[in-house]
Chains A and B, each alone.
Chain A
Amino acid sequence: MPHTPAPFDIIIIGAGVIGCALARRFTLDGAKTLILERAPDILDGASKGNSAILHTGFDAPPGSREQACIAAGYAEYLSIHASLGLPLIRSGALVIAWTEAEESLLPALMDQSRANGVDDIEPLTATQTRAIEPQLATTARASFRVPREYLIDPWSAPHAYLLQALANGAQLRRNCTVTGGAFDGSHWHLDTTTGPATGRIVINAAGNHGDLIDLMLLGAKDFTIRPRKGQFIVYDKPAAALASHILLPVPNKITKGIVVCRTAFGNLLVGPTAEDQDDRDTATLVPETLRALQTRGEQILPALAGQEITAIYAGLRPATEFKDYQIRAHAGRSYITVGGIRSTGLSSALGTAQHVAALAQSFAQTTPLPAPITPQTSNISESAPRDWQCPGHDGIICHCELVTRREIAAALTGPLSVQSLAGLKRRTRVTMGRCQGFYCAAALATLTRDHFATPMATPND
């Protein structure tokens, strides 16, 4: 007799940062949760390229869903990061005016910040600004300081959310593309490339494919995604000493602008650009744009000239025709769309999950887990001791980023065992350093030989 598995309470489509936070929230709230990811590893779409900042939401439109989700997400991250073993680098941010026109916008931005509940900001003159950031170009006219804008690890956070969900009973299917589905009045029956899945509620967190998933499952969509590409350049470790704060420009209507900031991994990044495109999957790096970022970085921090660029990357944010997030419960269909999370998803994810969980309560009630498990995430940031500093790490494989054999072995096993080099990078930082695999590629090809869907190399025998 064929075995019919019990239906899930919640099926989440997409294991980006939003999907991972949703999986954690619903699991802790007592729902039997399934998360579907089309890629071999999680965080492979919009969530793989961002600027790794935990925003307060000081510059979000007051009264917007985005602002509310960022504020709630920020607060929850602060309350849970220590228990999950996640870093928090209390850098603070400076919003810097470089022109007279930008300077004239600072008072309104500060008012907006206060309206958003971020009222511990301080205006700074050019001299005061330079006093706290001595490497800043002398052309900075004025700034204000947002002390509670922080740096976090953009990959370990969603990993930790999903690991906690999985430790408490959630299930994950990878290499799983949703191909269709129907709601029968009480349950959703999804068709996927790894077989059917049945659940009471479907949540669409499909990022850059969110509108297409709505169209496929609901027959209609409320927004259209036009991905917005962001290119970044990353400088080697010595450059991180050039800026203590997150250096933000005065934002415009389209974008928060080009940020210069340290990273949790001890580098310095410059980006992103904001370039609308039709392609939903491929973010192409453009040399002229990368050079322009380099020039912009040197205009902000002149000492960046001559520093080595060790990584270049591009991400796609799921922008829509609307400025705000597109989060909608579809009454009668037991379906919630979580779309258009176009740039602040890392900061808002936990808050967005709270909001979606509240929406789902109208479809189905659950009882929170009485004593959830809280697994510790292995630290890959520079703000706490790393594995190479601890005994028994079994040797360094990636010399640039000091990634150990033990860390790689751990990433290749367990419920989130990586299946791609990109996934392994996000778990361990391997090959992300200055040599880009000059020294470790051979060892990695051997270590990962039976683990990757697409091997790094084929055995020569």
Chain B
Amino acid sequence: MTDPDVIIVGSGPAGLGAATTLRGHGHSVTVLDREPQAGGIPRHCGHYPYGLREFRRLLKGPAYAARLTATALVTGVQIRTNTTVTALHPGPRLSITGPDGASEISAKAILLATGTRESSRAARLIGGTKPGGILSTGALQGMVYLAHQRPFQNPVILGTELVAFSAIMTCRHLGIRPVAMIEPGARTTAPLPTAIYPRLHGIPLHLNTTLDAIHGSTQVTGVTLRQGSRIWDQPCDGVIISGQFRPDNALLTTSHLTMDPATLGPEVDQFGRCSDPGYFAAGNLLRAVETAGYCWAEGRAIGHAIARALSGDLPSGPDHKITTSGHALKYALPQRLSPGTDAALPVLQLRVTQAIRGQITLTTNGQSTAHQINALPERRITLPLPSGAGPAHLHLDPEP
């Protein structure tokens, strides 16, 4: 088999968006996915709203994933499912394994689009025992929509990001009745009107509340909740540990590519180009977490950038770091600015670590511009992309 021009790792919205775009430029493209079917996380989400940006139609997740996949296949993209990438090498070259065993594959350029996952119970150091019935939203949705299984009847839901409301919809699909929704912060992370969704379904929402311990031996029997000095036991038979998404960066951590400790994704320039210019990255691997439509558009833009790189049209040259300071500023993406215009990442994407009102100062080439923000964690903040003529620095000053 001859090597394709481009290999894309991950067949979610970003990977398939890029694949279809690259085919449009006449390049041969192979998409690898470790799952048995292409489509990525939307396959797990058997509910609306997907597809408005891409197809101008309101679709459920699986239908949307199928449509993205079909669109890619029609344009001549090769998709290899059940294929797991086990290592990234300079070249660029990949070690892979599939049902037939281990092998290697090379291309002129490789796009990493491995997406995101929720943080586990272990990563959050939640106490208690380890019974059955503790699931991330992704695992729950996989069980309900892909395997048609019911893991519990009356779970509590930890977290109030958008995905937690997706968990409620998934539960309702099977008549599973969550008994409580737990949020450590003072307000729900997801914006209105989503935030009133649990109340509509009669699910008590406990703000300023932590999940201290999980009880049960074979199956969850309850949880201990704490709100200030009030501590109580909530009976339940499952726990949905939702949100706190992080890039699925396992391949990066053991590779030669430079990672950003703030995003936990690869360090990229405004074309999605990694520290090894043979590698590009797109979608939620860059940062957690954006919607499917956003990732699809990002994949397409970075697909164009890869096409430019393959035709020698993507400038390379000295690049400049974008640095940040101020304790509440979590990250800025991209992390580097290369020469050249028509950026694939057209704006600076920022996130904060806490609810904050203040001023962000962007300094580049001795020139400063100030931007007022009033931001919450996990919400998108964007600023105009600096010119790239010199290093850029971002500083966040909270309002006194």
Q: Mark A225-252, 1 if CB is under 8 A from B, else 0.
A: 0000000011011100000000000000
Q: Which residues in window 376-391 of B have CB below 8 A to A?
A: none
Q: How far is the CA of A233 from the CA of B123 in the complex (A)?
A: 9
Closest to B139 in A: A441
Contact flags A258-286 to B (C-beta < 8 A → 1, else 0):
00000000000000000000000111111
Q: Is the CB of B142 within 8 A of A441?
A: yes
B127's partner among A286, A308, A456 (CB-CB below 8 A) is: A286
| Chain A 399-446 residues near chain B, CB threshold 8 A | 399-400, 402, 421, 434-439, 441-443, 445-446
Closest partner residue, chain B, to A396 (CB atom): B84
B338 interfacial by beta-carbon distance below 8 Å: no
Looking at B130, B136, B147, the one whose CB has the most chain A CB atoms below 10 A away is: B147
| Binary per-residue interface labels of chain B (115-136) against chain A in the complex, 1 for a CB within 8 Å, 0 otherwise | 0011011110111111010011
- Kindly state the separation between the CA atoms of A308 and B252 in the bound complex, as whole angstroms: 14
* In contact, A442 and B101 (Cβ under 8 angstroms): no
CB of A237 within 8 A of CB of B139, answer no
A454 partner residues in chain B, CB cutoff 8 A: 132, 218-219
Tell me whether B253 and A445 are in contact (CB under 8 A): no
Instruction: Kindly report which residue of chain A lies nearest to residue B137, judged by CB atoms.
Output: A438
Bitwise, B39-53 to A at CB < 8 A (1) or not (0) is 000000000000000
B residues less than 8 Å from A390 (CB atoms): 101-102
Interface centre among B86, B136, B142, B174, by most chain A C-beta atoms within 10 angstroms, is B142
**Which A residues touch B99, using CB under 8 A?**
392-395
Contacts of A399 in B (CB 8 A): 34, 84
Return A450 CB to nearest CB of chain B, in Å: 13
Q: Which of A421, A436, A461 has the most CB of B within 10 A?
A: A436
B100 A391 Cβ-Cβ under 8 A: yes
Return A32 CB to nearest CB of chain B, in Å.
33
| A389 CB–B CB distance under 8 Å | yes
Interface residue? A185 (CB, 8 A): no
User: Chain B: how many interface residues by the 8 Å CB criterion?
Assistant: 50
Interface size bracket, A side: 35 or more
Contact B123 A459 (CB under 8 A): no
A175 at the interface (CB under 8 A from B): no
Cα A57 to Cα B278 with chains together (Å): 51
Q: Which residues of chain B in 64-107 are interfacial with respect to chain A, using CB atoms and an 8 Å cutoff?
A: 82, 84, 86, 97-102
Shortest B289–chain A CB gap in Å is: 13
- Cα-based distance from A108 to B372 in the complex (angstroms): 65
Which chain B residues lie closer than 8 Å to A438 at the CB level?
Answer: 117-118, 120, 136, 138-139
B398 to chain A, nearest CB (A): 24
The reply to whether the CB of B144 lies closer than 8 angstroms to some CB of chain A is yes
A437 to B138, CA, bound (A): 9
| Residues 216-247 of B contacting A (Cβ, < 8 Å) | 217-219, 246
Given contacts A238-B253, A393-B101, A437-B135, contact A456 B120 (CB under 8 A): no
Assess the A436–B253 pair: CB atoms within 8 A.
no
Cross-interface CB contact of A435 among B82, B129, B136, B148, cutoff 8 Å: B136
Q: Min CB distance, B164 to chain A, in Å?
A: 15
Do B98 and A395 have beta carbons less than 8 Å apart? yes
In chain B, what residue has the closest Cβ to A288? B127
The 8 A CB mask of A92-120 against B (1 = contact, 0 = none) is 00000000000000000000000000000
Within 8 Å of chain B (Cβ to Cβ): is A458?
Answer: yes
Known contacts A437-B135, A437-B139; A236 and B253 CB within 8 A of each other: yes
Alpha-carbon distance between A402 and B217 when the two chains are bound, in angstroms: 27
Q: Is A445's CB under 8 angstroms from B147's CB?
A: yes
Contact with A along B149-163 (1 / 0, CB 8 A): 111000000000000
B213 contacts A by Cβ under 8 Å: yes
B135 x A291 contact (CB < 8 A): no
A402 to B34, CA, bound (A): 11
Q: Does A374 contact B (CB under 8 A)?
A: no
A445 to B122, CA, bound (A): 21
Quick check: B254 and A287 within 8 Å, CB to CB? no
Report if B146 contacts A (CB, 8 A).
yes
Q: A389 to B127, Cβ gap below 8 A?
A: no
Please name all residues of chain B whose beta carbon is closer than 8 Å to the beta carbon of A395 when the two chains form the complex.
36, 82, 98-99
A236-B250, A436-B136 are known; give 10 further A-B pairs, CB within 8 A: A237-B254, A284-B128, A310-B123, A392-B99, A436-B121, A438-B118, A442-B142, A449-B149, A454-B132, A458-B150
Residues of B within 8 A of A (CB): 34-36, 82, 84, 86, 97-102, 117-118, 120-123, 125-130, 132, 135-136, 138-139, 142-144, 146-151, 174, 212-213, 217-219, 246, 248, 250, 253-254, 261
Interface residues of A (CB under 8 A from B): 233-234, 236-238, 281-287, 290-291, 294, 306, 308-313, 388-396, 399-400, 402, 421, 434-439, 441-443, 445-446, 449, 454, 456-461
Q: What are 9 A-B residue pairs whose CB atoms fall within 8 Å in the complex?
A: A236-B253, A388-B102, A396-B82, A402-B86, A441-B143, A454-B132, A457-B143, A457-B151, A458-B149
